[in-house]
Structure 1
Amino acid sequence: MILQNIAWKKSKGVAGHNVQCWAKRRRHIEAFHEDGKRGFATERLSASQLREEMAKEHVKDLSNKQKARQEARAVDKDFFMSVLNSSATKRDAKAYIQRFTPAKESPKPPTTNPAATEQRTQPSQGNGVNLGGFYGPASVVGSPQFLQHPHKQTSSLVGPRLHVALVKIRAPQTLDDDTLNGVGRTLSQLARLGLLSVVVVDCNRVPESTPDPTWRSVATAQANRIVAAIDSEGVTEARLVDNVIGVYEDSEKPRYGAHTPVTTHVTLRELMMTPLRRGVIPVIPSLGYTDITQTAVPILASDAVLALTRELAGLPTQTCPDENPEEVRERLQTRRAQVSLDRIIILDPLGGIPTSNRPNGYHVFLNMEQEFEPAKKDLLKGVEKNTAEASLQGQFKQNHVSDLGLSNPFSRFVETEFGCPKPTPQTAAPEPDATMTPKPENKYHLQNLELVRSVLSMLPPSSSALLTTPDEAANAGKKTPFRAGGVGTRRHRNPLIHNLLTDKPGFSSSLPMGRLGQTKPMMGDDPSTLAASITPTTFAKHGMHITIFPDPKLAPWEPPLSEKQHIKLTDSYIDLPRLVHLINDSFGRTLDVKEYLKRVNGRIAGVIIAGEYEGGALLTWETPPGVPDDGSPESRARMVPYLDKFAVLKKSQGSGGVADAVFTAMVRDCFPNGVVWRSRSTNVVNKWYFERSRGTWQLTNTGWTMFWTTRDMDKQTFLDYEAVCRGIEPSWADGKSILD
């Protein structure tokens, strides 16, 4: 009976389908005669009209598709032209593809559910119909299972790993719409290249200051401006997310390691992760909600960035005492597998971190492990200087008002206009206070420097930071004229896109100032004029420690008075096996250690080591032929500072700034007056050497090219350099002293 009912329903459905098809066919062949009377055309006439209508629709569709393709090509051309202007090398492109290519999914393990196995292997019946779904274990499979220790299937929820950048935009209320739209366009291009952004809006609201009733409306309005700027490109969407940051009460602040207490944390992770998985950029204003009262309060943008860093990096903040540690560990591992926080980008109208050691006034590359403390002290000197000047000015104004015995109204005017407290006979002069600093730039630079240090300390060494101005970040979105940047006359690059493709600064930090900016016929020889064209952008990494033997901070490197003052590679503070491995790996040849030690052990000026022997330089004092090596003042005056070995591990070549850090330490700290070296004429690194040397010379009848960094070199020094470079014999185990 059941089978009959099923057959009847099926036949009824088929009959209804036939009726619908017949009615549809009747409507297609129905037509109008020329006299306006309704009738039925022949099959041949209706087919012709139908083909004509279909042809018109097809032409219309082709026209629309062609127009859409043209618009898409225009957008792609504009996009790829912006990317190509970054001038990424083949090595950079290969590294970029390797970083952003999704990992292959691991094969799914075979199921261990016996019920599912039995259902899959259920034998078919004689009529060819598998009845396993109606009988047998189907009812068991469909029923809920109560297990004591259910298996957590977290691997299926991870999906492809997202590459994310934390972007902090300071003072967006000071930016015009064109600049903000340019920034939105650049963030959209980064998303197309595989790097999604999480934007934190910083409106310079300080929680400790006097409460401003409009702070929330200002923060929300500026966040909406950024959302509109990203959406205006029509490629990547953005969304305002203003309820993901929680604020701990004073009594419940947890401590993060041995550092200061954590004030903020992410409360609703999925509100941020859901847009990211869909390719939407979350825009987060600097506001949070207290955990107990759920009151909206202003927070520092730096605290919001740190909270997001801990969440995206999968670091623990505060856990319940009753929570299983194993479950916490698995949850954090899952979060790390979901997201890779590659970099932090700070867009500040003030630009990168300033320094007094470079003519352009900004750090190009910051090795935080080595240069954080010097950079901080350099900024604090500026703060102290400005504070002292402000204190003297305030003291003068106070004394001037007191001596004249001015009335209270004028005193209040001075207090309002000049920011000086109203003087009283009982109070002495105020102590110098940073709040009286007339130029607050260094305060923001210090905040950015501290924030970059804190974020990079929580991330892997491969992560990086970029600090630049919104105008530079928006140059791909604004029609700017051609201007030189970097080396020679290269077209100006967008620092965000260039940094994504290369993981490097816009130009090398070890380049001399004369090789930067516009060409000399256009700008002249004035270094200050050249420095004015340099982008105020700073690229930072956690980096590595640079060790120098002997330390040039204790005593400058000078020719020794006797052979006993020379250091040796066999000294206990030098790891000779690791140094030999570094040289062999970098040159692709095997060093004859015995012969090499015999030649250099009495001539070593110093050794520079980067990190754990990832890079290094070995420098010697060489005596020109014909000059007696007797330690006399004449002999010491003719000694040549020579770069004997400059090596970087192959895995560290082209990235991480290892070569730049070693070279900068050599020319800035060890031999600031100049150094000479030689290189094979066919060496692919010669281009790098050409850009960093002050002069080169092809040694005739040899396979060597001589380089030097000495300024204002005289004839005798040049001849000594040439004689030393010609006379040194290689010390390789293959015995090939003559170059190909």
Structure 2
Amino acid sequence: MNLQNLALRKGPGAAGHNIQSWTKRRKRCGSFHTIGSCYFATAKPSPSQLKEELAREHVKDLSRKQKAKKQARAIDRDFFMSVLGSSATKRDARSYLSRFTPSSEPLARKPVLPPKDNSQISYGNGVNLGGFYGTARAVAESPKFVQHPQGQTHSATGPQLHVALVKIRAPQTLNDDTLSGIGRTLSQLGRLGLTSVIVVDCKDRAQSYPDSNSRNLAIEQANRIATALDASGETRARLVDDAIGISEKAPGVEDGSAAYLRGRVHVTLRKLLITPLKRGIVPVIPSIGYTDSSQTSFPVQADEVVLALTRELAGFQPALLPDEDPDVMKERLQALRKEVSLDRLIILDPLGGIPSSDRPNGYHVFLNMEQEFESAKQDLVGANLLESDQSSQKDDRVSDLGASNPFSKFVETELTGPRKSERSPLMPGATSVLDTDNTQHLQNLQLVRSVLSVLPPSSSALLTTPDEAANSGRERNAPFQAPEVGTRRLRNPLIHNLLTDKPVFSSSLPVGRLGLPTHSMKNEPVSPTVYMTPTTFAKHGMSVSIFPDPKVTRWEPPTPGKPRLRLTDSQIDLPRLVHLIEDSFNRKLDVEDYLKRVNERIAGVIIAGEYEGGALLTWETPPGVLDDGTAESRARMVPYLDKFAVLKRSQGSSVADVVFRAMVRDCFPSGVCWRSRRNNPVNKWYFERSRGTWKLPGTNWAMFWTTPDLSMDQQTFRDYEGVCRGIVPSWADNKTILD
């Protein structure tokens, strides 16, 4: 009927064409289904169509596989380029492998029980007596009541988890590319054996925190970070928003425990953290807590969350469980600490590292918290006072601020450049010292101090900007290019710090020795402050003892009649000092001859830690100058570094930097000289930190000095050379010919 109507409208040609088409379609149909008065045909595809469909699916599958391989190659390329760009030495590589390689000790295994065979007892004649003479099942499985519980065998546990606690501040101000770069870097850390736990801090300088929208903002930004990690292709992330609890009572009041061990904010359930970590999943934790009683959610300070996670992952649980034996608690804590090792605190803050007034780029490179925490804190407090004074007197010059202010010299440089409201010429994402909120820097400094105080000395902290953390070490899709002479390839501070356990640059290295980037060498000179990374590496570190204390008494040439320091004084442990020198130089010291030569010339002694490193400095009289105590002879006396020693087990760490910085910053800021054998492998380290060097003709010595060029006249140079030529070594082997 339909064909007839169509034929009447379009003519016989159209009707015939449709009839033929309908006939062909019926031949391809396999079956008809009747539903009411309608007829439907199910066609069976032809072999050619099946081949075409299979070919299309195969092409799509190959395309997906090729795309996945290309993405994997890109991930591997970025990973290996980041590792190769870290410039880790052989010593650094050995240290990294010793820390992150799983232990070779066999895991504790469950006891192997004999197979249950209660019914199969055979004798020599082959007769099976069944369970007649076997142990009754009810007796074998009956409970045993004993006086003391039997020792439980430890179940098999995996290798120790190495964890980095990462705090990302103001992620709402970061674009997706930066977050993607951070996710890629954290994924690379995971491949290198360091799994991350991320705390999201949405507090911004211009935001009053907490507010009504802070909870939704924290959840939203936590999901952004988790998505960025998932997009890295190697690491998965999970939002964990129910692991933080809030206590109603103040910590450490009723139970008598220390406040830093039991905070108001705590971890409610450890498994919410450990289970994802064991599976290689990164927990992303917003700054949200739930009250212990009503389970009501409230925004909390991110620093409190970081401290709560630190206590939990470090195994600090000072409160005993009800009726718990102290010995059992001790074993439990030891098991917790063997399960997880919290190695690093990483703070990604748009403000960067901790500001410093004595660094040309304005940031601490390395912070020895035991020695420098108070001075760094006072530096920031002084900067806050200075900023408030500057904001009230915008047009005043630095001379009106007073020369006693520790930030006056740095502010003088800043006032000649951009205004406070403008961006400074630092790395992208960094700001100048005067453009930062020093209150936030103080909070970061205090957080680092609190975290490192409860962790082992091997743990460390790293503060940098999100842009630096997202840095892959080179431009995206750029071919690999070896660095030119005098240049240093940009490094990702997180990757470099993991492999070397050091800052990107040595803290004792002058900024002028860092070299310029390749692009700046081809175009125009750029100040080192342009490309210095605003990154601070911090450790609990060690104390530094300086005798005499330069804060009390300046190091000056000895005056006749005044008491002077000697190595035999009670404040110096001479046997340990001798051991330090002999262990560092691998030579036996003639102690009697050495004391005879230097004991009346001691300028001062610097001791790092428990005699792990040190420097012994003397006042030397140049040739031709009478040592009669007159003003003329005292003015010609040369400050000389007689011994610079670090224990072998501490070499390659930051001990040498700590001692050297104390020498040139606190003791002899106007300059000091020393000598070293020409073939000494430490000469490269000396060369990078000195203002000049000179190979003494006719000798096996190379002379170094840190005296500024403006103070280095011809007479001073000759006095330095004369002293370095005339010192007679005091080694017990008497191999002075080699020197």
Q: State TM-score, norm by structure 1.
A: 0.79
- 1:677 and 2:678 matched: no
Distance 1:67 1:725 in 2: 65
Aligned to 1:617: 615
Deviation, 1:73, is 4.3
- 1:455 and 2:451 matched: yes
- 1:626 and 2:624 matched: yes
More helix by share: 1
Equivalent of residue 649 in structure 1, options 647, 650, 668: 647
Count the aligned residue pairs: 636
User: Could you say if the C-alpha distance between residues 442 and 575 of structure 1 is closer, same or farther in structure 2, counting changes exceeding 3 Å?
Assistant: same
Distance 2:625 2:199 in 1: 65
Aligned to 1:245: 244
Distance 2:486 2:130 in 1: 76
Structure 2 alignment gaps of length 5 or more = 1-56, 395-433
Q: Is the 8 A contact 1:517 1:531 kept in 2?
A: no
What is the DSSP-based 3-state SS (H/G/I as helix, E as strand, rest coil) of the residue aligned with 1:158? coil
Aligned to 2:475: 479
Equivalent of residue 468 in structure 1, options 464, 469, 474: 464
Distance 1:210 1:729 in 2: 66
Aligned to 1:662: 659
User: Could you say if the C-alpha distance between residues 142 and 108 of structure 1 is closer, same or farther in structure 2, counting changes exceeding 3 Å?
Assistant: farther
Alignment of 1:36-51 (within 5 A): none
Deviation, 1:387, is 4.2
Q: Is the 8 A contact 1:182 1:478 kept in 2?
A: no
Distance 1:501 1:263 in 2: 35
Distance 1:301 1:483 in 2: 41
Q: Is the 8 A contact 2:488 2:515 kept in 1?
A: no
Q: Is the 8 A contact 1:386 1:439 kept in 2?
A: no
Deviation, 1:309, is 0.4
Aligned to 1:489: 487
Structure 1 alignment gaps of length 5 or more = 1-56, 394-437
Q: Is the 8 A contact 2:542 2:609 kept in 1?
A: yes
Equivalent of residue 510 in structure 1, options 493, 508, 511: 508
Distance 2:196 2:628 in 1: 64
- 1:168 and 2:167 matched: yes
Aligned to 1:695: 692
Deviation, 1:213, is 2.8
User: Could you say if the C-alpha distance between residues 128 and 681 of structure 1 is closer, same or farther in structure 2, counting changes exceeding 3 Å?
Assistant: farther
Distance 2:586 2:176 in 1: 54
Q: Is the 8 A contact 2:261 2:318 kept in 1?
A: no
Per-residue deviation, residues 240-298 of structure 1 (Å, max 9, x unmatched): 11111111103676664265962111111001100100111110000011111111111
Deviation, 1:77, is 2.8
Distance 2:518 2:231 in 1: 40
Distance 1:683 1:291 in 2: 63
Q: Is the 8 A contact 2:108 2:154 kept in 1?
A: no
Deviation, 1:90, is 1.1
Distance 2:517 2:209 in 1: 51
Aligned to 2:707: 710
What is the DSSP-based 3-state SS (H/G/I as helix, E as strand, rest coil) of the residue aligned with 2:327? helix
Aligned to 1:75: 75
Q: Is the 8 A contact 1:313 1:340 kept in 2?
A: yes
Distance 1:581 1:129 in 2: 79
* Fraction of identical pairs, as percent: 66
- 1:733 and 2:736 matched: no
User: Could you say if the C-alpha distance between residues 222 and 143 of structure 1 is closer, same or farther in structure 2, counting changes exceeding 3 Å?
Assistant: same
Aligned to 1:180: 179
Distance 1:560 1:668 in 2: 21
Per-residue deviation, residues 561-589 of structure 1 (Å, max 9, x unmatched): 22754311000000000000100111111
Distance 1:130 1:443 in 2: 85
Partner letter of residue 551 of structure 2? K
Alignment of 1:331-346 (within 5 A): 331-346=332-347
Higher mean C-alpha deviation, range 140-149 or range 665-674: 140-149
Deviation, 1:326, is 2.5
Per-residue deviation, residues 310-367 of structure 1 (Å, max 9, x unmatched): 0110112444454332232222111001011101000000000001111110000000
Aligned to 2:583: 585
Distance 1:141 1:97 in 2: 52
Aligned to 2:233: 234
Deviation, 1:66, is 8.7
Aligned to 1:282: 283
Partner letter of residue 438 of structure 2? N
Deviation, 1:719, is 1.3
Aligned to 2:5: none
Q: Is the 8 A contact 1:253 1:263 kept in 2?
A: no
Deviation, 1:527, is 11
Aligned to 1:94: 94
- 1:353 and 2:354 matched: yes
Aligned to 1:38: none
Per-residue deviation, residues 490-511 of structure 1 (Å, max 9, x unmatched): 1100000000000000000111
What is the DSSP-based 3-state SS (H/G/I as helix, E as strand, rest coil) of the residue aligned with 1:220? helix
Distance 1:72 1:211 in 2: 41
Deviation, 1:117, is 9.3
Deviation, 1:718, is 1.1
Equivalent of residue 604 in structure 1, options 602, 605, 630: 602
Q: Is the 8 A contact 1:517 1:534 kept in 2?
A: no
Deviation, 1:142, is 7.2
What is the DSSP-based 3-state SS (H/G/I as helix, E as strand, rest coil) of the residue aligned with 2:527? helix
Aligned to 1:192: 191
Q: Is the 8 A contact 1:162 1:339 kept in 2?
A: yes
Deviation, 1:155, is 3.2
Distance 1:521 1:479 in 2: 12
Distance 1:493 1:94 in 2: 20
Per-residue deviation, residues 8-55 of structure 1 (Å, max 9, x unmatched): xxxxxxxxxxxxxxxxxxxxxxxxxxxxxxxxxxxxxxxxxxxxxxxx
Aligned to 1:136: 134
Distance 1:72 1:81 in 2: 14
Partner letter of residue 99 of structure 2? R
Aligned to 2:22: none
Aligned to 2:297: 296
Aligned to 1:6: none
Deviation, 1:443, is 1.1
User: Could you say if the C-alpha distance between residues 390 and 150 of structure 1 is closer, same or farther in structure 2, counting changes exceeding 3 Å?
Assistant: farther
Partner letter of residue 231 of structure 1? D
User: Could you say if the C-alpha distance between residues 391 and 682 of structure 1 is closer, same or farther in structure 2, counting changes exceeding 3 Å?
Assistant: closer
Aligned to 2:265: 264
What is the DSSP-based 3-state SS (H/G/I as helix, E as strand, rest coil) of the residue aligned with 1:584? helix
User: Could you say if the C-alpha distance between residues 542 and 134 of structure 1 is closer, same or farther in structure 2, counting changes exceeding 3 Å?
Assistant: farther
Partner letter of residue 681 of structure 1? R
Distance 1:487 1:613 in 2: 38
Aligned to 1:29: none
What is the DSSP-based 3-state SS (H/G/I as helix, E as strand, rest coil) of the residue aligned with 1:630? coil
Distance 2:714 2:503 in 1: 37
Distance 1:250 1:486 in 2: 61
Q: Is the 8 A contact 1:485 1:517 kept in 2?
A: no
User: Could you say if the C-alpha distance between residues 604 and 377 of structure 1 is closer, same or farther in structure 2, counting changes exceeding 3 Å?
Assistant: same
Per-residue deviation, residues 465-506 of structure 1 (Å, max 9, x unmatched): 000000000011883689999993111000000000000000
Q: Is the 8 A contact 2:200 2:222 kept in 1?
A: yes
Deviation, 1:150, is 4.0
Q: Is the 8 A contact 1:484 1:518 kept in 2?
A: no
- 1:323 and 2:321 matched: no
Alignment of 1:527-542 (within 5 A): 529-542=527-540
Partner letter of residue 578 of structure 2? V
Distance 1:337 1:461 in 2: 16
Alignment of 1:94-133 (within 5 A): 94-106=94-106, 108=108, 111=111, 116=114
User: Could you say if the C-alpha distance between residues 154 and 310 of structure 1 is closer, same or farther in structure 2, counting changes exceeding 3 Å?
Assistant: farther
Deviation, 1:59, is 14
User: Could you say if the C-alpha distance between residues 256 and 374 of structure 1 is closer, same or farther in structure 2, counting changes exceeding 3 Å?
Assistant: farther
Q: Is the 8 A contact 1:164 1:343 kept in 2?
A: yes
Partner letter of residue 696 of structure 1? T
Partner letter of residue 659 of structure 1? A
